[in-house]
A and B are shown apart, each in its own frame.
Chain A
Amino acid sequence: MDKKYVPRITSFLCKWCSYTGADLAGTSRLQYPTAIIPIKVMCSSRVDPVFILRAFLKGSDGVLLGGCHPGDCHYETGNYHTRRRFAIVKTVFESLGLEAERIRLSWISASEGPKFARVANEFTETIIAMGENPVKKKIFL
Chain B
Amino acid sequence: MGSKRNSVLIVGAGIAGIQAALDLAEMGVEVHLVEDTPTIGGRMPQLDKTFPTNDCSMCILSPKMSECARHPGIQIHILSNLKNVSGKPGRFKCTILERAKYVDPVKCVACGLCEDKCPVKIEDTFDVGLRTRKAISRYFLQSIPAEYTIDKDKCLYLTKGVCRICEKTCEAGAINYEDKDREVELEVGAIILAAGIDPFDPIGFGHFGYHRYPDVVTSLEFERMLSASGPMGGHVVRASNGKEPKKLAFIQCVGSRDEGIDRNYCSSACCMFAIKQSIIAKEHIKDLDSSIFYMDIRAFGKDFDKYYEKAEKQYGVKFKRSKVADIIETPEGKLRLRYTLEKGTTQYEEFDMVVLSIGLQAREANQRLSEDLDIRLNEFGFCRSERFSPLMTSREGVFVCGAMNGPKDIPESVVSASGAVANAVRFLDLERQGLPTADESIPEKNVIGQRPRIGVFVCHCGINIAGVVDVKDVAEYAGTLENVEHTEDVMYACSTDCLDTIKKRIEEHDLNRVVVAACTPRTHEPLFRETINEAGLNPYLFEMANIRDQCSWAHMDQPELATIKSKDLVEMGVAKSRGLQPLERLPIEIDPKALVIGGGLSGMTSALSLADAGHQVYLIEKEDELGGNLRNIFFNFDDKDPQVFLGDLIKKVSRHKMIEVLKGAEIEDISGYIGNYKTSLKAGSGKEGRLLDHGVVIVATGGEEHKTEEYLLGKSSRIVTQVEFERMLHEKDFPAGKLKNVVMIQCVGSREEGRMYCSRICCSKAVKNALELKKVKSKTNVYFAYRDIRTYGFSEKYYTELRDEGTVFLRYTPDSKPVVELIDEDVTDSRARVTVFDPIMDRDVVIDADLVVLATAIDAPEKNEELAKKLKVPLNADGMFLEAHVKLRPVDFATEGVFLCGLAHSPKDMDESQAQAKAAASRALTFLNRKAVLAEGTICQVMTDRCSGCSYCESICAYSAIEVDPEKLVAVVNEALCKGCGACVASCRCGALDLRGFTNQQMYSVFDSLDLVITEKVGD
Residues of chain A having any CB pair with chain B under 8 Å: 6, 8, 10, 15, 17, 19-20, 22-34, 36-43, 45-51, 54-55, 57-60, 71-72, 74-78, 81, 85, 109-115, 117, 133, 136-141
A46 CB → nearest B CB, Å: 3
Residues B46-95 near A (CB distance < 8 A):
48, 53, 55-59, 62
Query: Could you tell me if B981 and A27 are in contact, using CB atoms closer than 8 angstroms?
Result: no
Query: Could you tell me if B572 and A72 are in contact, using CB atoms closer than 8 angstroms?
Result: no
A-B contact sample (12 more), CB < 8 A, given A72-B55, A111-B228: A24-B141, A39-B1003, A42-B998, A45-B982, A45-B983, A54-B1007, A54-B1008, A76-B958, A110-B62, A138-B1014, A139-B1018, A140-B1017
Query: Could you tell me if A37 and B1012 are in contact, using CB atoms closer than 8 angstroms?
Result: no
Interface residues in B, total, Cβ within 8 A: 67
Residues of chain B having any CB pair with chain A under 8 Å: 48, 53, 55-59, 62, 141-142, 227-229, 233-234, 520-522, 546, 548-551, 553-558, 561-562, 564-565, 568-569, 572, 894, 938, 956, 958-959, 979-983, 985-987, 995, 998, 1000, 1003-1004, 1006-1008, 1010-1019
Interfacial chain A residues near B141, Cβ < 8 Å: 24, 27-28
Interfacial chain B residues near A117, Cβ < 8 Å: 554
Interfacial chain A residues near B1015, Cβ < 8 Å: 138, 140
CA gap between A58 and B1014 in the complex, in Å: 10
Query: Could you tell me if A45 and B981 are in contact, using CB atoms closer than 8 angstroms?
Result: yes
CA gap between A54 and B62 in the complex, in Å: 34
Interfacial chain A residues near B1012, Cβ < 8 Å: 8, 58-60, 133, 136
Query: Could you tell me if A58 and B995 are in contact, using CB atoms closer than 8 angstroms?
Result: no
Say yes or no: A75-B983 contact (C-beta < 8 A), given A58-B1007, A58-B1013: yes
Interfacial chain B residues near A6, Cβ < 8 Å: 561
B1009 CB → nearest A CB, Å: 9
Interfacial chain B residues near A58, Cβ < 8 Å: 1007-1008, 1010-1013
Say yes or no: A42-B1017 contact (C-beta < 8 A), given A30-B554, A34-B555: no
CA gap between A23 and B227 in the complex, in Å: 17
A137 CB → nearest B CB, Å: 5
Question: Closest chain A residue to B227 by CB distance?
Answer: A111
B235 CB → nearest A CB, Å: 9
Q: List 21 A-B contacts (CB under 8 A).
A: A17-B59, A20-B522, A26-B551, A31-B554, A33-B555, A38-B546, A42-B982, A46-B995, A51-B986, A51-B1004, A76-B958, A76-B959, A77-B983, A81-B987, A109-B56, A113-B229, A114-B233, A138-B1014, A140-B1015, A141-B1018, A141-B1019
Query: Could you tell me if A78 and B550 are in contact, using CB atoms closer than 8 angstroms?
Result: no
The answer, among B59, B554, B1016, for a CB contact under 8 Å with A25, is B554
Question: Closest chain A residue to B141 by CB distance?
Answer: A27
Q: Which 6 A-B pairs have the closest CB atoms?
A: A59-B1012, A46-B982, A110-B59, A26-B549, A45-B983, A111-B56
B978 CB → nearest A CB, Å: 11
Question: Closest chain B residue to A71 by CB distance?
Answer: B53
The answer, among B234, B568, B981, for a CB contact under 8 Å with A46, is B981
CA gap between A18 and B986 in the complex, in Å: 19
Query: Could you tell me if B1016 and A137 are in contact, using CB atoms closer than 8 angstroms?
Result: yes
The answer, among A22, A34, A54, for a CB contact under 8 Å with B565, is A34
Interfacial chain B residues near A8, Cβ < 8 Å: 1010, 1012
Query: Could you tell me if A28 and B550 are in contact, using CB atoms closer than 8 angstroms?
Result: no
CA gap between A117 and B1015 in the complex, in Å: 33
Interfacial chain A residues near B55, Cβ < 8 Å: 72
Query: Could you tell me if A48 and B1000 are in contact, using CB atoms closer than 8 angstroms?
Result: yes
Question: Closest chain B residue to A4 by CB distance?
Answer: B561
CA gap between A48 and B1007 in the complex, in Å: 13
CA gap between A60 and B558 in the complex, in Å: 21
Interfacial chain A residues near B1004, Cβ < 8 Å: 51, 54
Interfacial chain B residues near A30, Cβ < 8 Å: 554
Interfacial chain A residues near B981, Cβ < 8 Å: 42-43, 45-46, 74-75, 78
CA gap between A117 and B229 in the complex, in Å: 13
Query: Could you tell me if A137 and B1014 are in contact, using CB atoms closer than 8 angstroms?
Result: yes
CA gap between A109 and B59 in the complex, in Å: 8
Question: Closest chain B residue to A10 by CB distance?
Answer: B1007
Query: Could you tell me if B554 and A111 are in contact, using CB atoms closer than 8 angstroms?
Result: no
CA gap between A76 and B956 in the complex, in Å: 11
Question: Closest chain B residue to A32 by CB distance?
Answer: B554
B285 CB → nearest A CB, Å: 16
Interfacial chain B residues near A49, Cβ < 8 Å: 986
Question: Closest chain B residue to A8 by CB distance?
Answer: B1012
The answer, among B48, B550, B986, for a CB contact under 8 Å with A47, is B986
Interfacial chain A residues near B1007, Cβ < 8 Å: 10, 39, 51, 54-55, 58, 60
Most buried by A among B228, B894, B956, B1016: B228
Interfacial chain B residues near A57, Cβ < 8 Å: 1013
Query: Could you tell me if B554 and A26 are in contact, using CB atoms closer than 8 angstroms?
Result: yes
B310 CB → nearest A CB, Å: 14
Interfacial chain A residues near B986, Cβ < 8 Å: 45-49, 51, 81, 85
Question: Closest chain B residue to A133 by CB distance?
Answer: B1012
Question: Closest chain B residue to A30 by CB distance?
Answer: B554
CA gap between A50 and B141 in the complex, in Å: 37
Query: Could you tell me if B1013 and A111 are in contact, using CB atoms closer than 8 angstroms?
Result: no
Query: Could you tell me if B229 and A24 are in contact, using CB atoms closer than 8 angstroms?
Result: yes
Query: Could you tell me if B548 and A112 are in contact, using CB atoms closer than 8 angstroms?
Result: no
Query: Could you tell me if B982 and A41 are in contact, using CB atoms closer than 8 angstroms?
Result: yes
CA gap between A59 and B57 in the complex, in Å: 39
Interfacial chain A residues near B985, Cβ < 8 Å: 46, 48
A71 CB → nearest B CB, Å: 8
Interfacial chain B residues near A19, Cβ < 8 Å: 522
Question: Closest chain B residue to A21 by CB distance?
Answer: B59
CA gap between A140 and B555 in the complex, in Å: 37
CA gap between A134 and B555 in the complex, in Å: 27
CA gap between A59 and B48 in the complex, in Å: 39
A13 CB → nearest B CB, Å: 9
CA gap between A113 and B331 in the complex, in Å: 39
CA gap between A132 and B782 in the complex, in Å: 79
CA gap between A135 and B565 in the complex, in Å: 22
CA gap between A31 and B553 in the complex, in Å: 8
CA gap between A45 and B979 in the complex, in Å: 13
Query: Could you tell me if B1016 and A37 are in contact, using CB atoms closer than 8 angstroms?
Result: no
Interfacial chain B residues near A28, Cβ < 8 Å: 141, 229
Query: Could you tell me if B233 and A23 are in contact, using CB atoms closer than 8 angstroms?
Result: no
Question: Closest chain A residue to B56 by CB distance?
Answer: A111
Interfacial chain B residues near A34, Cβ < 8 Å: 551, 555, 558, 561-562, 564-565
Query: Could you tell me if A140 and B983 are in contact, using CB atoms closer than 8 angstroms?
Result: no
A20 CB → nearest B CB, Å: 6
CA gap between A78 and B228 in the complex, in Å: 25
Interfacial chain B residues near A75, Cβ < 8 Å: 958, 979, 981, 983
Query: Could you tell me if A114 and B228 are in contact, using CB atoms closer than 8 angstroms?
Result: yes
Question: Closest chain B residue to A120 by CB distance?
Answer: B554
Query: Could you tell me if B983 and A43 are in contact, using CB atoms closer than 8 angstroms?
Result: yes
B92 CB → nearest A CB, Å: 38
CA gap between A46 and B993 in the complex, in Å: 11
CA gap between A51 and B1019 in the complex, in Å: 33
Query: Could you tell me if A112 and B522 are in contact, using CB atoms closer than 8 angstroms?
Result: no
Most buried by A among B142, B550, B1004: B550
B7 CB → nearest A CB, Å: 32
Question: Closest chain A residue to B958 by CB distance?
Answer: A76
Question: Closest chain B residue to A51 by CB distance?
Answer: B1003
Query: Could you tell me if A22 and B550 are in contact, using CB atoms closer than 8 angstroms?
Result: yes
Question: Closest chain B residue to A77 by CB distance?
Answer: B958
CA gap between A61 and B53 in the complex, in Å: 36
Question: Closest chain A residue to B552 by CB distance?
Answer: A26
CA gap between A102 and B390 in the complex, in Å: 58
Interfacial chain B residues near A76, Cβ < 8 Å: 894, 958-959
CA gap between A120 and B57 in the complex, in Å: 24
Say yes or no: A42-B980 contact (C-beta < 8 A), given A55-B1007, A111-B58: yes
Interfacial chain A residues near B564, Cβ < 8 Å: 34
Interfacial chain A residues near B1011, Cβ < 8 Å: 58-59
B725 CB → nearest A CB, Å: 41
Say yes or no: A81-B982 contact (C-beta < 8 A), given A30-B554, A34-B565, A37-B568: no
A27 CB → nearest B CB, Å: 5
Query: Could you tell me if B561 and A23 are in contact, using CB atoms closer than 8 angstroms?
Result: no
